[in-house]
Homo-oligomer: A and B are copies of this chain.
Amino acid sequence: MKQFINMFVLVLILSICNNYLYAQDVYGHLREGWLQKAQQTQPPLIETVKQPVTLVNMQKDTTAFQHWKAVNHLPVDSLYKRSFKSQSGVIADFGEHLTGYFTFSLAEAGSVPDAPVRIRFTFGEVPAELTTPFDPYPGALSRGWLQDEIVTVSDIPATITIPRRVAFRYVKMELVNSNVYPDFRISNISFTATTSVKAMPDTLTASAGKMIAAIDKAGLTTLKECMQTVYEDGPKRDRRLWIGDLYLESLANMYSFRNYDLTKHCLYLIAGLSYKDGVAASNIFERPTPHPQVNPLFDYALIYNVAVKEYVQATGDKQTATDLWPLIRRQLDIPKKYIQPDGMLDYERANKEWWLFFDWRSGLDKQAALQGVVIWAYKNTYELAKMIGKQNEVSDLPALINKLSSAAHKNLYDAATGVFISGKDKQVSYASQAWMVLSGVASKAEGAKALSKLAVMDNVVYPGAPYLYHYVIEAMITCGMNKEAKTLLVDYWGGMINKGADTFWEVYDPKDDFLSPYNFFPINSYCHAWSCTPVYFIRKYPQIFQGQ
């Protein structure tokens, strides 16, 4: 079973960084303007009222994902017409993943109810969330993320909207009163779904094939559901704007919804809430008022620059990049103090002073990935600088890129085995190969050889979450490994499709349906931004991803 970075490590990181906001405020004067622009570009949410499509039974089935599957049971009318007491525990299926606000109506069933009634609504993205007891709660994240709400209704008839926003497909309704009397009915349920997506993109051509089309569809739904007033990481959890998710979502958006306003809004929001030392905020809470989590993340800060570059390339909106340029330049500084005379970054020190992410995978050595992401970000930022006429301000970059790249090749490429190694223990991982390819340290041939070699080597560290799979597939395409890229995408995301996914999951291990970085699989997010990336691949490279 895979191991993940424990959340307690994050607590530690948080406490290390606690004083971050109190550092010298270099970018204060700019931040205010960026935040204003973010406010001006807040996208409107589009609301759609949805009805349940059927009542379902959850059936135990060890061949189904997490051993439970939803089976059509009764039409929805049978919920509304019959007394609720006789149906307590009923599950309604809205037929698709939705994010927003749940409304229910209660009515008399014969005579006047004499007492408050209490109903527990449990919202689930996947069937097992409806069948797995939440308590006693063994998870590592807040129990509050689990979507069960007990509502007391003092008077019937009543129509009540649960104030909490939920993300779900299935809702279970249970009478908490053991013996309410007289009986009553749930006379209606509905859902006000929200997203900032305005229109669906063109469907794929028939040549894509069934599985590719299914993957694309689930990816689009995942992305649409995460596209609210920011690019959320997951509408169930954590509902936050993270740079890492933003980057993948904005790539997928480019080839699907083309809602560039949302990307622009998020880029300004992150800039406007950047830390006082000018490091781009790794993640943003929108509510109650927009604010950053004080949790600086090395690789995400650099990815911010690449996200801006991709946005400008897609839209031609140079004004935004020019506005944001001081922040972009600041991110370039982050790695500099770690560059040693030999051109290698001081990984030990960086790892001590920063949160380095790259993947949810405990034991992953990140030396190679760190070297790679810096080179890759420098290259992309230099391209961006050229687009907006700022290359003079970053004229040191080309030499730096060369220095870092040469050092990486010299120190990290193991010519004997043909793979890139990382750290003292010369660890071999997908992460290292991917970042050595994306940074251009590996030649196309070296990259292809290295990536191919992994499948037959022992002790290779595999990706832990879909986020890293994105970079691996991108690396494969970079090396011309189109067939392998397609196979990996179809195997991995198609695996979720075969297990009934209509949105893609935060974590997915083909061999372990119950895997959770948080020690309790129902708290996993089953509609997670960083898993939407097939939309980008399938629609950017239709010639690769077809016929399956």
| A residues neighboring B (CB under 8 Å) | 7, 11, 14, 18, 110-112, 114-118, 136-137, 139-145, 149-150, 152-158, 164-165, 176-182, 237-238, 240, 285, 287-288, 291, 293-294
Contacts and interface: CB of A to CB of B under 8 A. Distances in A.
Contacts of A110: 18
A181 B238 CA distance: 13
Contacts of A179: 139-143
B164 A141 contact: no
List the 7 shortest-distance A-B pairs measured between CB atoms, nearest first.
Answer: A115-B142, A116-B144, A155-B287, A143-B177, A142-B180, A155-B288, A142-B177
Contact of A150 (B7, B114, B136, B150): B150
Contacts of A141: 115, 179, 181
A294 B111 CA distance: 8
B182 A14 contact: yes
B181 A11 contact: yes
Contact of A164 (B116, B149, B291): B116
Contacts of A164: 116, 152, 154
Interface of A (DSSP majority class): loop
Contacts of A136: 178
B287 A143 contact: no
Nearest to A117: B144
A165 B110 CA distance: 26
Given A118-B143, A152-B164, 9 more contacts: A112-B291, A112-B294, A114-B142, A115-B141, A116-B145, A142-B177, A143-B176, A143-B177, A154-B287
Contacts of A118: 143-144
Given A7-B181, A155-B287, A165-B154, A145 B112 contact: no
A155 B164 CA distance: 10
A192 B112 CA distance: 29
A100 to B, nearest CB: 13
Contacts of A155: 285, 287-288
A430 to B, nearest CB: 29
18 contacts: A14-B111, A18-B111, A111-B293, A114-B142, A114-B240, A115-B141, A116-B142, A116-B144, A137-B178, A139-B179, A142-B179, A142-B180, A143-B178, A143-B180, A144-B176, A154-B165, A154-B287, A158-B288
Contact of A144 (B18, B112, B152, B287): B152
A178 B153 CA distance: 27
Contacts of A117: 142, 144
Contact of A145 (B18, B115, B137, B294): B115
A119 to B, nearest CB: 9
A282 to B, nearest CB: 12
Contacts of A116: 142, 144-145, 164
A11 B85 CA distance: 15
Contacts of A152: 144, 149, 164
Contacts of A139: 178-179
Nearest to A286: B155
A136 B178 CA distance: 9
B112 A293 contact: yes
Contacts of A150: 149-150
A115 B525 CA distance: 13
A180 B288 contact: no
A176 B142 CA distance: 9
B285 A112 contact: yes
A317 B261 CA distance: 71
Contacts of A291: 112
A63 to B, nearest CB: 32
Contacts of A182: 11, 14
A180 B293 CA distance: 15
Which of A116, A141, A164 has the most C-beta atoms of chain B within 10 angstroms of its own C-beta?
A116
